[in-house]
Structure 1
Amino acid sequence: MSEYQYYAFQALDRPLTREEREQLRAVSSRARITATSFTNTYNWGDLSGSPRRMTELYFDAHLYVTNWGTHRLMLRLPKRAMPLDTAQRYCLDHHVEAWTTRTHLLLDLTSEDEGGDWVEGADDALAALIGVRDELVVGDLRPLYLAWLSALTAWELEDDDEEEYRNCPEPPVPAGLAELSAPQQALADYLRVDPDLLAAAAQVSPAVPSKPAKPTKRELAPLITALPKREKDAFLLRLALGPEPHLRTELLHHLRGPASPSTAPGLRSAAQLLDAAHARRAERRQHTERRRTEARDQHLTALAREAESHWKQVHEHIGTKKTSAYDTAVTLLTELRDAYTHTGQEADFRTRLTHLRDNYRRRPALMERLDHCGLR
């Protein structure tokens, strides 16, 4: 299989200047560069620039997909949107990383599965994922927790030391893990979060708090009047210099008071979560197997009730003297054998099978098929 790497970068808060686009052209002569994006595909060679540095300087989102199993998403948020120490609680090895520049907080979320199948559409997922950035800006920590769960999924696949699992504490558990938004579900899929692990984690996740009512002029007017002059001037200056897409949200949070993210304390270890996920997985498989067995039993019971009709079909197929019809007849006979056994009539089946073999003993192609399937 040939090598495949896909790079996509997206500018959201402001378009790239002409000078910045020229700087990016020096990184790649083949990339498609617009005022808001940079995309390129490599089947040999690689990007000459650093994706981290490019995201720090120019872009608000970066997606990277390879055909050897790497799924990576980087997001750049305004620095004031989230304290670094809040993001760092969800960091785990190289799978989830957070750092700041002078103006921004950056998140690097990576899932790697070299043994996994190619995920169709993964290299076209940025549009579905981009919404998690806005959610993070307004204090929703579910995307970070999902990235942490993805890192645990990778740990389990790598079969690391169990002692490390026991010593790895769970970060704060955000509200609403049982009811993800569309961008969050896309993120969970992209980062390959194990559904059983997510279900286990969601058991202690608080319900999503009700959204605050839409602000009214009566509510906001006294709050704006009470705002200190220095803070008013700072907001007006930023508005004049704009555009800042999240300025309105930030101002509302500032006026109404910071809406601290609703979380529950992380009281479990990674080992306990992985064990809970394993138990859910085993229970689900047992339930699936029970339902499969019940369906099979019902099928065999119904088949036994209609046995005469199926024997007639067997003889009709054999009568055509076509090898393909022999295959169909043998398949029916195998099902009949199981149905007779299921209903306690195995002796009756063997008697009828013996008669059938005697009647068609001069058909070696049929006899060979019967023998191969244990219909002796």
Structure 2
Amino acid sequence: MSEYQLIEFQAVDRPLTDRELAYAREQSTRAEISRWSFQNEYHFGDFHGDVNGMLRRGYDVHLHYANFGVRTVAFRLPVGMPFAEDVWSNYIGGEGVSWAPDRRGSGGVLTLSPYHEAGELEELWEFEPCMRAMVELRTRLMAGDLRVLYLFWLAAATDGQPDPVDAKEPPVPCGLAELAGEAQPFLEFFGLEASLLDAAAEGSAEAPDEASAEHRIQRWVESQSEEEVKALLRELLSEDSAAIKSATIARILGATTPSAWPTVVTSRNYQTLLDRAAQLRQAEYEREQKRLVAAEKRKAAKLAQEREVRMRQMVDEPKKWLRQAEELVAARGLANYEAAAEVLDELREALAGDSGEQLARQHSAHLAKKHPTLNRLKSALKKRGLLE
């Protein structure tokens, strides 16, 4: 297996400044670099740049994939965790998830990098959906969506654990089931079955109504005076609007407290979730098999009905079906030869008795004589017992 690695960074809140862009270019001489993205692929060698340095200098999301087991995601959170430490520490702290606060200020870098053996996970080839999902998850996390931290825990639950039983489940955020579609690329990236999230979501309530940054921004806007709004508008029109917007949103999120996300405390561990996920997969497999059997029965009934109608038509107009067999053979191709043989076989059955047998055999002999080089046609007719 040849080695393949992808290193990607994306700026979300604002484009990089000239100084930040220069720093990014110092990290690699081969990467495709812009004010919004940094991407490089490796078939040999490795990335030796400073990941956290890049995230503290303009970029907001980092993705590292290697087909020998490396799966890493990192988020730059400019105003820090939107939860108290006694909340977020339930989901972070193992070997696979880490929080690196800035030396100054409240920001930091959240990194998810669980250990996987080479060949343990299936290889991936599409990364754009994954990066889009990571950007959306970061946005949700910054707005106070606790479900994102639960996903991080789920991806790294057994990292460094001698046995999955040792990985005690943290409080389960409500609304996990509602996040399933959005989280699918995240689950695939870390080799997790969707049924694992289904198992985790069982027994939890819906997500709270005000679960987005938009609500917190709206509350902040409504609290501003007319003069303050005008001052902000002047800034947006006279300076770098993307930078002003990013700084304002960061200030809002830092100054407002998200509503406490409701959770459900369980006595489950990771192995319990795995077992339940297996049960859900088996149940879904059995439902799918029932659907397939029912679909096959409907299809067979429809084909039988169509065949019955067709055979009645053959009794009324046998010459029409002889012409159809001729046309199929003239169109050439194995599928058409077999279709022609099937038409003659059905015609024989529809007319029944000696007359049907004689007509089908005579026409088969006629076709074989008319097309002496079409050995596949002859073979198709012989399989139906229409030609000696």
Q: Fold match, TM over 0.5?
A: yes
Cα distance in 1, alignment partners of residues 314 and 68 from structure 2 = 50
**Out of 323, 329, 332, which is 1:324 matched to?**
332
Written as runs of structure 1 = structure 2, the 5 A alignment for 1:72-87 is 72-77=72-77, 78-82=79-83, 86-87=87-88
**1:174 Cα deviation after fit:** 1.6
1:136 aligns with 2:147: no
1:294 aligns with 2:297: yes
TM-score, length-scaled by structure 1: 0.66
SS at match of 2:64: strand
Report if the CA contact (8 A) 2:325-2:340 is conserved. Answer: no
Written as runs of structure 1 = structure 2, the 5 A alignment for 1:15-34 is 16=16, 18-34=18-34
Identity of aligned residues (%): 25
Q: Counterpart amino acid of 1:106?
A: L
Cα distance in 1, alignment partners of residues 383 and 123 from structure 2 = 35
* Cα-Cα RMSD: 4.9
Written as runs of structure 1 = structure 2, the 5 A alignment for 1:144-155 is 144-149=149-154
Q: Which has the larger radius of gyration?
A: 2
Aligned residues: 337
Report if the CA contact (8 A) 1:5-1:67 is conserved. Answer: yes
Cα distance in 2, alignment partners of residues 125 and 277 from structure 1 = 25
| CA deviation string 1:213-269 (max 9, x = no partner) | 953899899xxxxxxxxxxxxxxxxxxxx936322123221xxxx622211124432
Aligned to 1:175: 174
Unaligned residue ranges in structure 1 (runs of 5+): 156-160, 222-241, 340-344
Cα distance in 2, alignment partners of residues 173 and 117 from structure 1 = 30
Aligned to 1:197: 196
**1:185 Cα deviation after fit:** 5.4
1:215 aligns with 2:219: yes
| CA deviation string 1:28-73 (max 9, x = no partner) | 1122444554333345433222535644666421123457786542
Q: 1:251 to 1:372 in 2, by over 3 A?
A: farther
Q: 1:5 to 1:332 in 2, by over 3 A?
A: farther
Q: 1:69 to 1:334 in 2, by over 3 A?
A: farther
Written as runs of structure 1 = structure 2, the 5 A alignment for 1:5-44 is 5-12=5-12, 16=16, 18-35=18-35, 37-44=37-44
Aligned to 2:45: 45
**1:208 Cα deviation after fit:** 1.6
Cα distance in 1, alignment partners of residues 68 and 30 from structure 2 = 23
Report if the CA contact (8 A) 1:4-1:43 is conserved. Answer: yes
Q: Counterpart amino acid of 2:75?
A: L
Aligned to 1:232: none
Cα distance in 2, alignment partners of residues 127 and 298 from structure 1 = 45
Report if the CA contact (8 A) 1:16-1:58 is conserved. Answer: yes
Q: Counterpart amino acid of 1:292?
A: A
Aligned to 1:279: 282
Unaligned residue ranges in structure 2 (runs of 5+): 226-245, 369-374
Q: 1:125 to 1:188 in 2, by over 3 A?
A: same
Cα distance in 2, alignment partners of residues 165 and 149 from structure 1 = 11
Aligned to 1:224: none
Cα distance in 1, alignment partners of residues 155 and 385 from structure 2 = 47
Report if the CA contact (8 A) 1:128-1:183 is conserved. Answer: yes
